[in-house]
Structure 1
Amino acid sequence: MMDAALKYYNNPNYTWFPNDNINYDYVSEDISFHHTSDYGSGRMPYNNFLNITFISILVICIFGVVGNGIVIWLLGFHIKRNPFTTYILNLAIADFGRLLSLIFAIVSNWLTILYDLSSILSVSSIFLFLSTHTASNFLLTAISIDSCMAAFFPLWHRCHRPPHLSTIVCVLVWVLSFLLSRISFIILQMYNNEAVIRVLYQFIVNAMVCFPLVAAATLALFINVCCKAQQHQRRKLFTIILLTLLCFLFLGSPLNIIVTLHFYIYILSYVVLLAFVLSCLNSSVNPMIYFLVGRERKARHRESLEVILQRVFKEEEGCAEELQPPVQIQL
């Protein structure tokens, strides 16, 4: 997956990241980690950069796992479910799994002496990352489209939207994500001598489909929220959605774009690893967005995340009631 994952799937020394114990005879020549343009005068500077990157990813992932875990617990067991919380809950699950997979990947890289355990962790972490990464992209695309429908056609969205549409969409997203990940693994087995990053074609789907849709929906939603005064009562909810989508465009999308470009041109390992750091930030920042936007600035006491989430989604339900057409009583 990562650019460091240059070993083919069935190699007993297989790992996500470069390691001195790896037999680099299995590595494709065009993207070898010994490429002089990647490391300059020697390999040691890159190793230092790699270790710093690993530690940064690990710290970000730990905070992100805790934050998304809290969101999953609150939305799953303590807050009344509605169409929007269904999307947010599944998005938190996808981000939680993606961050957990990167933790597994780093641990497997540090346990390369235990080859059997390392191989199991590497394969599991790659499959988990592929599935949750794709699910997160698809869920954000669905959220952006649904939010635009709610902003431009509020009455239709509240009165005629299928009640279980969010649940159906989330189920389809997870099924499609696991299916694409399985196809990627089949391709990995077919291209034994190719770099992992070169055969993950589902990133092209994320870059070519999800990114344009989210970008267009984000722009439309931003214009709608800023121009229409009646959206004031839902400003916090739409602000959360906008910030979440913007974080995806600037933090999550670079990884899809860089991997897609890597199919055609050589990309430095530094760039790919930095894209993974940004992707970790994208998966970790959403709980902070919910907290900072949803809290009351003039509140005398510090509010919990549960109270903040309840306020935001209660605001959503209140707007839904206001948008219901009045009932006419015939005498």
Structure 2
Amino acid sequence: MMDPYNFTNSPLNNNSKYEDYYEDYDEYTDLRKSVNIMSIIVYSLDFVLGVVGNGIVIWVTGFKMKRTVNTVWFLNLAVADFLFTFFLPLSVAYTAMGFHWPFGQFMCKFNSTLSLINMFASVYILVVISVDRCLSVVCPIWAQNHRNVSRASVVSFGVWLFALVLSSPSFVFRETALHSNKIICYNNFAFSDHNETLEVVELRSIRHRAMIITRFIIGFVVPFVIIISCYAVIIHRLQRNRSMSGRTGRTLKIIAAVVTAFFICWAPFHILVLIEMVNHTEMEYSSTLQYVTTVGIPIATSLAFLNSCLNPLLYVFMAQDFKVKVRKSILKVLETAFTEEASRTNTCTNSILTIQNKEKGSKSFSDAEV
């Protein structure tokens, strides 16, 4: 039996306690099992690719490249994605154990809050990158005089603080509870286990809707509008400036990739969560919408998680200087490793030859004695 405290068990989803929601759960048992297996596979893949990809970005932008405004943006973006993907095994274990949470209440709060911090921090770092690029194209002289590493660091700190504030309700409401011999991690929006009173149900429903709608507007609509607006201005300015026409094609491709990836990764999740919320706050319950959200939300969540793996590719690896640095750094590491290995091999060989020579000398001496 799936836990009745959540609509979907995604760490990104803020759901509360609606027991009547699961009256027809048996109808979807096999379907949920298949979707859960898919989620485990995708989460595991996201973990490997996200940790490796973002780890390389952190290593190169933090230690191998000269500190610039762009490397500050990319470093913070990579840190947000790395922290999120690093803790994905907790979600993998939770799903694999049939939504049993053995890691304690603090980690229940921490894991869900970290997921939302990653979502808000990543999205608004992308907003900052978009605004920064727009200002560099529209006001190049002003940007040249005012863009510096220290200000970029201050802006990045502000983004993290903003993301922390927006994610804090998850830390407040998230709790653990024992249900059907399993410890579940859920959102208790009313701070109460008494579902029978109308006041508690109403309070829980209001807070649930407020968090979903706020997250949709602040975490998706507003950033997406800003990003689209910035790149529309950039495209318009590049098309008017004939001297930059040679770079327009490449710029347009990067912009298209950025906007498309952002929209594809996050739009399905936010839309399906809104559908799920409406379906369970209306008087008429739709089994069709229930089926759609049962299948769709885990897939959309996996897609949203995938964004943390795509960011290094879309926002960093497209930069030519970064690719050169990565290639040189990796070649240097391999060269050092092979040199050390060759050195160890030669040392070992010399030692073996020395021992063999000593043994031969000792044997000859023994023979002479005989």
For normalisation by structure 2, the TM-score amounts to: 0.64
Correspondence list, 1:38-53, <5 A: 41-53=27-39
Equivalence for 1:269: 294
Contact map agreement 2:5 2:19 (CA 8 A) in 1: no
Contact map agreement 2:68 2:148 (CA 8 A) in 1: no
Contact map agreement 1:111 1:117 (CA 8 A) in 2: no
Q: Secondary structure at the match of 2:65?
A: coil
Residue 219 (1) aligns with residue 232 (2): yes
CA–CA distance in 1 between the matches of 2:43 and 2:103?
21
Residue 256 (1) aligns with residue 256 (2): no
Q: Over alpha carbons, which structure has the higher Rg?
A: 2
Residue 207 (1) aligns with residue 226 (2): no
Correspondence list, 1:101-116, <5 A: 101-111=87-97, 115-116=101-102
C-alpha distance 171-114 of structure 1, shift in aligned 2 (>3 A): same
Correspondence list, 1:22-171, <5 A: 27-29=17-19, 31-32=21-22, 35=24, 41-111=27-97, 115-117=101-103, 119-161=105-147, 164-171=150-157
In structure 2, the gaps of 5 or more residues are: 174-186, 196-203, 281-288, 330-370
Contact map agreement 1:184 1:202 (CA 8 A) in 2: no
CA–CA distance in 1 between the matches of 2:231 and 2:92?
34
C-alpha distance 257-228 of structure 1, shift in aligned 2 (>3 A): farther
Superposed displacement of residue 261, structure 1: 5.0
Superposed displacement of residue 162, structure 1: 5.7
Contact map agreement 2:3 2:99 (CA 8 A) in 1: no
Q: Secondary structure at the match of 2:67?
A: coil
Equivalence for 1:246: 260
C-alpha distance 235-183 of structure 1, shift in aligned 2 (>3 A): same
Residue 305 (1) aligns with residue 330 (2): no
What letter corresponds to residue 303 of structure 2 in structure 1?
L
Contact map agreement 2:110 2:171 (CA 8 A) in 1: no
Q: Secondary structure at the match of 1:117?
A: coil
CA–CA distance in 2 between the matches of 1:80 and 1:234?
26
Contact map agreement 2:123 2:219 (CA 8 A) in 1: yes
Higher helix fraction (1 or 2): 2
Equivalence for 2:179: none
Superposed displacement of residue 271, structure 1: 1.8
Superposed displacement of residue 250, structure 1: 2.2
Contact map agreement 2:69 2:152 (CA 8 A) in 1: yes
Contact map agreement 1:207 1:257 (CA 8 A) in 2: no
* 1:110-154 Cα deviation digits (max 9, x unpaired): 356975426554332111111111111111111111111112222
CA–CA distance in 2 between the matches of 1:42 and 1:258?
17
Aligned length: 284
CA–CA distance in 1 between the matches of 2:141 and 2:249?
17
C-alpha distance 155-189 of structure 1, shift in aligned 2 (>3 A): same
Contact map agreement 1:101 1:129 (CA 8 A) in 2: no
Contact map agreement 2:54 2:78 (CA 8 A) in 1: yes
CA–CA distance in 1 between the matches of 2:113 and 2:3?
13
Equivalence for 2:308: 283
Contact map agreement 1:152 1:224 (CA 8 A) in 2: yes
CA–CA distance in 1 between the matches of 2:99 and 2:40?
18
For normalisation by structure 1, the TM-score amounts to: 0.71
Correspondence list, 1:312-331, <5 A: none
Contact map agreement 1:137 1:206 (CA 8 A) in 2: yes
What letter corresponds to residue 309 of structure 2 in structure 1?
S
